[in-house]
Amino acid sequence: MGAFFIGRKSYLKIMFFSLPRHSHALKAKFPAQSLGNKSLWCNMLPWLFELEIVMFHHVEPYAGDPILSLNEAFGKDPRTDKINLSIGIYFDDDAKIPMLPSVRAAELKVVAEAGARPYLPMEGAANFRTAVQHLLFGAEHAALKAGRVVTIQTVGSSGGLKVGADFIKRYFPNTTILVSDPTWDNHRAVFEGSGLTVQTYPYYDAATGGLRFDAMLQALSKAEKHSVVLLHACCHNPTGVDLTDVQWQQLLPVLQERELIPFLDLAYQGYGASIAEDAFAVRLFADSGISFLVANSFSKSMSLYGERCGALTIVCPDAAQAVNVLGQLKANVRRNYSNPPMHGGQLVARVLTDPELRAMWEAEVVAMRDRIQLMRKKLFDVLSAKLPGRDVSYFLTQRGMFSYTGLSPEQCDRLKEEFGVYILRSGRMCVAGLNSRNVEATANAMAAVLA
Ligand code: LMR
């Protein structure tokens, strides 16, 4: 053992606190030695020191998540007129997270019928999984009938991304995952956390507030075979810039030619055009016969954020491979969290399968989408009046909860500090946090920092 020096303070700390606390471990570690033995102290002190003082010395501080940290900072801001446009949550016109009447009615039924709470299977509840498949593909899709689609219930769509990422890492260990530039802040963390190499493909055009579609196609047409391409099926997070149906059709042959593996992230179904239209890419890919993954969520579409209701679906080449793929997804779930929680998934399954509740829910989704659209229009009107030389029409063309405002990090800081308006430093604004009382103040604050 090398030389070992500790200061008087550490020594005292060890004598008074560590020694009594670790007496059992100490006896087990040094059984043959007695307190009178000098070498005991030479060996014991570094051991105790390590146990007490340096055990976690290599653990670095966590910088925090840009979205969740800003949302927390908003919560602590004492100003009463503050405006939260940071996190991707739909707030109603009273700035409240809605409890959708369809989901409330489903919950009353589910609770009234609830019995014992056994563990769910690793893959989740069968009624939830089937309902998700029907929602994504349409109940009659040939891929479902062929038995080549597998779905597991996951802990939100983030859980679906994670289980999918682990699956990719295991079966395509050297592959790269390509994400749009920019993408949701957490995508890179999830995929790198599974050991995958993450690269980007061109996506957002800062000059127009639109899509660099040609550059995107060009980059993907050069991607390595079996690269995974993360695509936002609708309501791109963070930009709100989506592919049109025609562009999805143009993308498909590139994916096929390069044998790329699409991984669709569908977290905002219903917020773009409609529940069915927002699944356009899912259905197009399934029709084409390619293999791909989809992670979808009910956090936003059913306002069930804390229930963590999501799913991972993998469309396979045939039913035999689907059996093995499902088996490996189950094994992954078992290794990680054993099986998903029950309650939220049962609310989702009930809303999706009860015709009356389903109709209610679809109307509620339309109302949420229309309200966001109204807020976009109001923001556009005030900003275009205040900044006549500036084109802010991207607020009208971008879709879903988010818009990329084009504000610099410093301008975002000013919005927060001077006006209490919280948007991400990337310039992402959650338009779904606007309401009839705060939209004008938001537009005025933006105009002030942009002037
Ligand atoms: C967001 O993008 O703000 C939401 O999806 C919430 C999250 O977990 O980041």
**Annotation says 265 is catalytic:** yes
* Residue with more model confidence, 111 or 32: 111
Pocket lining: 383 vs ligand 1, CB cutoff 6 Å: no
Residue 9 confidence (pLDDT) above 80: no
Q: Give the confidence band of 8 by pLDDT, cuts at 50, 70, 90.
A: low
Pocket lining: 365 vs ligand 1, CB cutoff 6 Å: no
Q: Cis check for the bond before 98: say yes or no (omega within 30 of 0).
A: no
DSSP letter at 50 equals I
Residue 33 confidence (pLDDT) above 70: no
| Cα(410)–Cα(251) distance, integer angstroms | 36
Convert the pLDDT of each residue in 245-258 to its tens digit: 999 999 999 999 99
How many CB atoms are closer than 10 A to CB 75?
9
Pocket lining: 184 vs ligand 1, CB cutoff 6 Å: yes
Q: Give the confidence band of 14 by pLDDT, cuts at 50, 70, 90.
A: low
Contacts by residues 101-105 (CB-CB < 8 Å, ≥ 24 positions apart): 101/360, 101/364, 102/302, 102/351, 102/357, 102/358, 102/360, 102/361, 102/364, 103/302, 103/303, 103/304, 103/347, 103/351, 103/361, 105/357, 105/360
Element (H or E) spanning 313, and its range? strand 309-315
Q: How many degrees, rounded to 5, is the angle at CA 294 between CA 291 and CA 298?
A: 160
Q: Provide mean pLDDT across the span 63-67.
A: 94
Mean pLDDT over all residues of the chain? Answer: 93
Q: Give the confidence band of 441 by pLDDT, cuts at 50, 70, 90.
A: very high
**Pairing state between β 197-202 and 176-181:** parallel
Among the atoms of ligand 1, which is closest to the Cα of residue 65?
9
Residue 414 confidence (pLDDT) above 90: yes
Beta partners for 429? 403
What domains can be seen in the chain, in order of their start residue? 8-54 (no CATH), 68-99+364-450 (3.90.1150.10), 120-353 (3.40.640.10)
**For residue 87, how far is its CA from the centre of ligand 1 (angstroms)?**
6
Pocket lining: 237 vs ligand 1, CB cutoff 6 Å: yes
Pocket lining: 89 vs ligand 1, CB cutoff 6 Å: no
* Backbone CA torsion sign across 118, 122, 126, 127: positive
Convert the pLDDT of each residue in 183-240 to its tens digit: 999 999 999 999 999 999 999 999 999 999 999 999 999 999 999 999 999 999 999 9
Pocket lining: 186 vs ligand 1, CB cutoff 6 Å: yes
Residue 416 confidence (pLDDT) above 80: yes
**Nearest in space to 157 (alpha carbons), one of 106, 216, 88:** 88
Q: Are 233 and 265 in contact (CB under 8 A)?
A: yes
Residue 392 confidence (pLDDT) above 80: yes
Convert the pLDDT of each residue in 317-351 to its tens digit: 999 999 999 999 999 999 999 999 999 999 999 99
The pLDDT score that the predictor gives to residue 439 is 97
**Annotation says 9 is catalytic:** no
**For residue 288, how far is its CA from the centre of ligand 1 (angstroms)?**
31
The pLDDT score that the predictor gives to residue 27 is 75
**Annotation says 242 is catalytic:** no
Query: Which residue, judged by its Cα, is nearest atom 9 of ligand 1?
Result: 67
The pLDDT score that the predictor gives to residue 1 is 39
SS3 percent helix, strand, coil of the chain, rounded to 5, is 50, 15, 35
Query: Which residue, judged by its Cα, is nearest atom 4 of ligand 1?
Result: 88
CA dihedral 121, 126, 129, 132 (to 10 degrees): -150
Among the atoms of ligand 1, which is closest to the Cα of residue 430?
3
Q: Give the confidence band of 5 by pLDDT, cuts at 50, 70, 90.
A: low
Query: Which residue, judged by its Cα, is nearest atom 2 of ligand 1?
Result: 88
| Cα(396)–Cα(394) distance, integer angstroms | 5
* Residue with more model confidence, 125 or 35: 125
Residue 126 makes CB contacts below 8 A (sequence gap 6+) with none
Q: Are 443 and 386 in contact (CB under 8 A)?
A: yes
Q: Which of 166, 184, 361, 378 is catalytic?
A: 184
Among the atoms of ligand 1, which is closest to the Cα of residue 186?
9
